[in-house]
Amino acid sequence: MTMPQASEVALPDDDMLVMDVAETIGRASLTGADASREATVQRLQALYAQLGFSLSDHVIAEGIAAAADGRFRYTRPRGPAALLARLYVARSKWGPPVAALLFVAVVGLGAYFFGYRPYTNSQAEQARLELTQNLPAAMDSLYTQIFDETKVQSAALDAEKLRDAGKQAAARGDRAAADQAIANLTALRDTLQQTYTLRIVDSDGVKPAFWNFPPNNSEETNYYVVVEAVDDSGQILSLPVTNTDTGRTETVSRWGLRVPQGVYDAVLADKQDDAHIEHGLVGFKQEGYVDPDYAVPVLGGAVTQW
């Protein structure tokens, strides 16, 4: 295939030749500190003559000037506008992951503002209402029940102290102490409502009475009878009993009640007579009272383990 002659193709105008000369000078390094203008002109004329073009002095002069001042040189745009343009062109690369992140962010913010935050606000408001209204109202209701049902003034006084302490706890935001006050008031009310008979345990394999030494005092002997509380239907109850040896309160169905030695001896003699307790009544608890009325002498004290 032969190259077409210059006469066979459309000749570029002077402006296009100026641009081409400037690009040729920059690409071929035809100028420099050690290159004279005449040498540059001669090399350009020789180069374009090989291509079949004859350059005018005006085109050569304008081409050399354009190469010197960078008139046609491409300069990469900078600044915010250029950065935005490049980001737009490359949107197919960064667009999907950014869209996914935005979707996750929108979902997360929506869940926070329309789900979690209203829920926590509702919980906080409910807790505030509990402390400022519901719990104090419950304390007042329990106090009223105790006051109406008790037949002993000490129970009403105890209930008043518990109610007042519970309300103070609720006012300072102490939910645990307020709940404990309600639990104590409930226990006092339930105790007042209970009725039962206190009797000595008469079962095979269970010793009805025992003795021990009090803690840190081996010179003294304590005597106990083993008792249980039986309600009107014959059901054995589990009651809170404070162990005087340890100071801990436990809920038990049997416990040791401290009595004089004479009662202890009488119970053992009754059991040894025919292997049964004939006189097992120790006391009875009436509605409206906290403590039972005792049918035998007691010394005030109990143990839950022996």
Domain shared by 169 and 203, yes or no:
no
**154 domain residue, yes or no:** yes
- What local confidence, expressed as pLDDT, does residue 1 receive? 43
Domain shared by 237 and 143, yes or no:
no
**206 domain residue, yes or no:** yes
**251 domain residue, yes or no:** yes
Domain shared by 170 and 216, yes or no:
no
Q: What is the C-alpha to C-alpha distance for residues 255 and 208, in angstroms, rounded to an integer?
A: 11
- What local confidence, expressed as pLDDT, does residue 109 receive? 82
**79 domain residue, yes or no:** no
Q: pTM surpassing 0.85? A: no
Domain shared by 205 and 289, yes or no:
yes
**158 domain residue, yes or no:** yes
Structural contact between residues 194 and 291, judged by C-beta atoms closer than 8 angstroms: no
Question: What residue type is assigned to position 16 of the chain?
Answer: M
**90 domain residue, yes or no:** no
Domain shared by 228 and 290, yes or no:
yes
- What local confidence, expressed as pLDDT, does residue 105 receive? 87
Structural contact between residues 268 and 209, judged by C-beta atoms closer than 8 angstroms: yes
Domain shared by 184 and 121, yes or no:
yes
- What local confidence, expressed as pLDDT, does residue 6 receive? 46
Domain shared by 124 and 189, yes or no:
yes
- What local confidence, expressed as pLDDT, does residue 33 receive? 46
Domain shared by 127 and 215, yes or no:
no
Domain shared by 186 and 206, yes or no:
no
Domain shared by 202 and 279, yes or no:
yes
Domain count along the chain: 3
**165 domain residue, yes or no:** yes
Structural contact between residues 166 and 139, judged by C-beta atoms closer than 8 angstroms: yes
Q: What DSSP string describes 143-212? A: HHHHHHH-SSHHHHHHHHHHHHHHHHHHHTT-HHHHHHHHHHHHHHHHHHH--EEEEE---TT--SEEEE
Tens digits of residue pLDDT in 54-112: 878 888 888 888 777 777 776 777 888 878 877 778 888 888 888 888 888 888 888 88
Q: What is the C-alpha to C-alpha distance for residues 69 and 4, in angstroms, rounded to an integer?
A: 34
Domain shared by 182 and 211, yes or no:
no
* Six token digits for residue 214: 């009090």
**23 domain residue, yes or no:** yes
Report which of 51, 54, 62 is spatially closest to residue 21, judged by C-alpha positions: 62
Mean pLDDT of the chain: 87
Structural contact between residues 68 and 60, judged by C-beta atoms closer than 8 angstroms: no
| Residue ranges in the chain whose pLDDT is less than 70 | 1-11, 28-35, 74
Q: Which one of 193, 210, 236 terminates a domain?
A: 193
Domain shared by 49 and 132, yes or no:
no
Q: Which one of 171, 193, 215 terminates a domain?
A: 193
Q: Which one of 176, 193, 210 terminates a domain?
A: 193
Host domain of residue 50: 6-69
